[in-house]
Amino acid sequence: MATGYAELLRARHAVRLLVGTLIGRLPNATAALVIVLFTRAEGGGYTLAGVLSAVYGLATAVGQPLLGRLVDLYGQPRVMFPAALLSALGMALFALVGIDPVTVAAVAVLLAGVATPPLEGGLRALWPGVLKGPEKVHRAYALDAVAQEVMFAVGPLLVTLIVAYWNEAAALLVINGLGVFGALSVVVSPPSRTWRSAPREAHWLGALRSAGLLALLGTFFFVGLALGAIAVAAVSYADDHGEALISSYLLSALGFGALVGGVVYGARHWAGAPERRLIWLVLALAAGYMPLVLVPGVVAMTALAGLSGVFLAPALACAFVVVDRHAPSGTVTEAFSWLVTTFGVGAAAGTAVVGPVIERGGASAGFAVVGAGGVVALLVLLLTKRALSAVSPGSRSAPVAGLAAGPGPASAPVTATENDRNGAAEPGFRTGRQA
């Protein structure tokens, strides 16, 4: 297991790209927390803090796929770094102005959200050019999913430390300054500078014209809903037991379970079509959510939370492979950005839906929403199996060596500038032509 990951990280540029992307994504990972802390420090209420956080979240949801499309058209450095600077300037304006006037604060947060660079999708577009061979790329996807769990654990801790030793405005500035540094580290690297997307058809739907991608987005909207609901339900459970820290136990256990699951998943080779494997992973994910509705004692509940997270990172890693296979030619970054957006919108919907449910039925009802999200995600996959298994014209969903039976059609010639997965002349990857 360790040997496979060590080999991956020894690949030239791999560590730099992974670490740079994680640092660059810190502002996005901590935005909800730091906006609430700063708003409260400025004398604002929780309602205003929630509204500003929602503005940022919705702006990010809109900006990610749009910027992803621009990256596919114009390359990473021309889009990623200016976007990171603009996003940081938005947060700097928020730190300078505070919450008075509220309109300026909202505009600053809106700017920061919509300009958040699509580093997550950009990294996944780079992996095939950095790591030769589909098995290494799929292991990198698993490592990427695991690294997200680490980032979402470390990010809030970093914010808390900056606030404790300085103040909330400093947290805004430092975190976003680190984000700019991370984005710069990525875009000045040779893989980012030389990456070019494959030719693409000029189509207003872009990546969304793939039926398989739409099926996947529908699935992960409900996975995101389950995760958004579980965060609120965990707080309700902690309130019922008279100790606020209990919610952090549950969420930390969930993150640890996802970390373990992702590491184990990425360490082994998987045969068979990833679309079929994804169904089993989402089934296991939904099954892991179900026992939470029992709300047993704290120790047992913490163990159940850990088990519920085991299949999260594997499901995400497998989803990355499926996106890779179904995104139309020349839309790779945009396609991954849509997955990020849909997941985030689902999480926001989960937090909105579960609140009234908990008020009426308590923590157990809240965790029932979590289980329902997992079940509906599975149903979406089952109902769209045909779309996921179909190869649409112009897509890049040719069978991958070791993952799907049967050879793909002969590859078309690849130009020297097409070094992403759309045009990779590697065994097992097909060069997609325009849709």
Nearest CA to 228 among 40, 65, 381, 355? 355
What residues pair up with 395 in beta bridges, in sequence order?
328
In b/e form, how buried is each residue of 385-409, taking b as 16+ CB within 10 angstroms? Answer: eebbeebbebbbbbbbeebbeeebe
Please state, in angstroms and rounded to a whole number, the distance separating the CA atoms of residues 407 and 431.
Answer: 13
**Which ranges of the chain have pLDDT less than 70?**
1-4, 198-204, 206, 390-435
Query: 8-37: string of b/e by CB count within 10 Å (b at 16+)?
Result: beeeebbebbbebbbbbbbbbbbbbbbbbb
Q: Is-contact 68 89, C-beta < 8 A?
A: no
pLDDT for position 35: 87
pLDDT reported for residue 42: 94
pLDDT score at 394: 47
Contact 240, 362 (CB under 8 A): yes
Of 338, 343, 335, whose CA–CA distance to 316 is shortest? Answer: 343
Place of tokens 């984005």: 183
**C-alpha distances in Å from residue 85, one per residue of 88, 173, 174, 233, 423:** 5, 12, 13, 36, 30
Angle, helices 274-289 vs 298-309, to 10°: value is 170
What integer pLDDT is reported at residue 204 of this predicted model? 60
Residue type for position 76: Q
- C-alpha 267/C-alpha 138 separation (Å) is 10
pLDDT at 147: 81
- Amino acid of residue 356: P
How many Cα atoms sit within 13 Å of 123 on the Cβ side?
31
What is the rounded distance in angstroms from the CA atom of residue 228 to the CA atom of residue 370? 8
Specify the amino acid at residue 186. Answer: V
Structure tokens at 4: 């496979």
Burial class (CB in 10 A: 0-12, 13-18, 19+), 103: exposed
With the CA atoms of 102, 108, 109 and 115 taken in that order, what torsion angle do they form, in degrees rounded to the nearest 10? 160
Three-class SS state of 395: strand
Taking the C-alpha atoms of residue 142 and residue 317, their distance in angstroms, rounded to an integer, is 5
Q: Computed over its alpha carbons, how large is the radius of gyration of the chain?
A: 21
Q: What are the two backbone dihedrals, phi and then psi, of residue 395, each rounded to the nearest 5 degrees? A: -80, 175
pLDDT digits (tens, 9 = 90+) for 379-395: 999 999 888 876 444 44
Its pTM stands at: 0.74
What integer pLDDT is reported at residue 2 of this predicted model?
Answer: 58
